[in-house]
Amino acid sequence: MPLPAEFHEIAKRVNNWGRWGKDDETGTLNLITDDTVRRAAAEIRTGRRVPLALPLQQDGVQSGLIPGRINPLHTMVQINQCVFGPDTVATSDDAVTMGLQAATHWDALTHVSHSGHLYNGRPADTITAHGGAEFSGIDKAPYVVSRGVLLDVAAAKGVDRLPGDHAVTPEDLDEAAEFGGVTVRAGDVVLVRTGQVRVYLAGDKNGYAYPSPGLSLRTPEWFHARDVAAVANDTLTFEIFPPEVENLWLPVHALHLVEMGMLQGQNWNLENLSTACGEEKRYAFFLSAMPEPFKGATGTPVAPVAVL
């Protein structure tokens, strides 16, 4: 089914192709400048550190809904082995097989395409089976260190978790910003809390996946207007699932990654951060969320940490 006119109209309004040059591969990460990072460092006041990653484990968030995206399978390949002879120092090594987007992760700009194109107008067929992404793979995202902002939509509405059919709107984001007393600035990394991850933490991975609240088709323009560098949330699909427009699957992915060139993240555990921000009565912090530089990959696991 062709993408509807509404999608293409939004795409034109948020498009960043050529904004940082025709050869650019990093998109909105260009908005994280040296000055941005210096201002972000000034948000550290107490040194309180809050990890935001889910554990990498075989009983992870993946339920089989997405073919090939498997939870981490951890295997020991050496256990206390004296590799240099008897009675020498012994070593233990492990290996893991997993989908790079299995748990807490960033989507690279090449994670989705539409109309035969990737970010900055590159052809979708530049992704190949053996080479991966020729352009804008996750290894081309050199850093994600910036000011983080928590938009706690659930807390702003006075609930632990948004209903499964709730599409987060620009008005919701404004309400959460007012609730947190924070203004989103250029180069910020915005974290949107719906509370949905609580379903997975309670042991229901199928209920976590579906139905799920998430970002609506109207929110990319909100992020674009504020020059946000990256966005992540606490759901499996990032955007509302099932979609708000019938048969229009992953339109927010396409607008963020393809049109805007903006990283987006899923499966972030924002529960402890919500508590910490509420206790300290501030919703901006220093955020380190460095991608693992898998060459040519369309996504990567990440272990983000917020420092207040």
Q: Which domain holds residue 49?
A: 5-66+99-307
Residue 71 lies in a domain: no
**Per residue of the chain (308 residues), what is the pLDDT tens digit?**
689 999 999 999 999 999 999 999 999 999 999 999 999 999 999 999 999 999 999 999 999 888 889 999 999 999 999 989 998 999 999 999 999 999 999 999 999 999 999 999 999 999 999 999 999 999 999 899 999 999 999 999 999 999 999 999 999 999 999 999 999 999 999 999 999 999 999 999 999 999 999 999 999 999 999 999 999 999 999 999 999 998 899 999 999 999 999 999 999 999 999 999 999 999 999 999 999 999 999 999 999 999 99
pTM of the model: 0.95
Give the model's pLDDT for residue 167.
98
The CA–CA distances, whole Å, from 111 to 93, 202, 212, 283 equal 31, 29, 21, 29
Instruction: Please name the residue ranges forming H helices in the chain.
Output: 5-14, 34-41, 153-156, 170-180, 197-201, 205-209, 219-225, 251-253, 271-280
How many angstroms separate the CA atoms of 75 and 77, rounded?
A: 6
How many angstroms separate the CA atoms of 136 and 111, rounded?
A: 10
Planar angle of CA 174, 180, 181, nearest 5 degrees: 85
Residue 36 lies in a domain: yes
CATH of the domain at 29: 3.50.30.50
The CA–CA distances, whole Å, from 178 to 155, 172, 225 equal 12, 10, 17
Residue 276 lies in a domain: yes
CA 49, 239, 159, 151: dihedral to nearest 10 degrees?
A: 40
Residue 30 lies in a domain: yes
Residue 78 lies in a domain: no
Residue 92 lies in a domain: no
Give the model's pLDDT for residue 1.
63
Domain count, the chain: 1
Residue 89 lies in a domain: no
Residue 72 lies in a domain: no
> Are the CB atoms for 180 and 227 separated by under 8 Å?
no
List the helix and strand counts (H, then E) for the chain: 9, 15
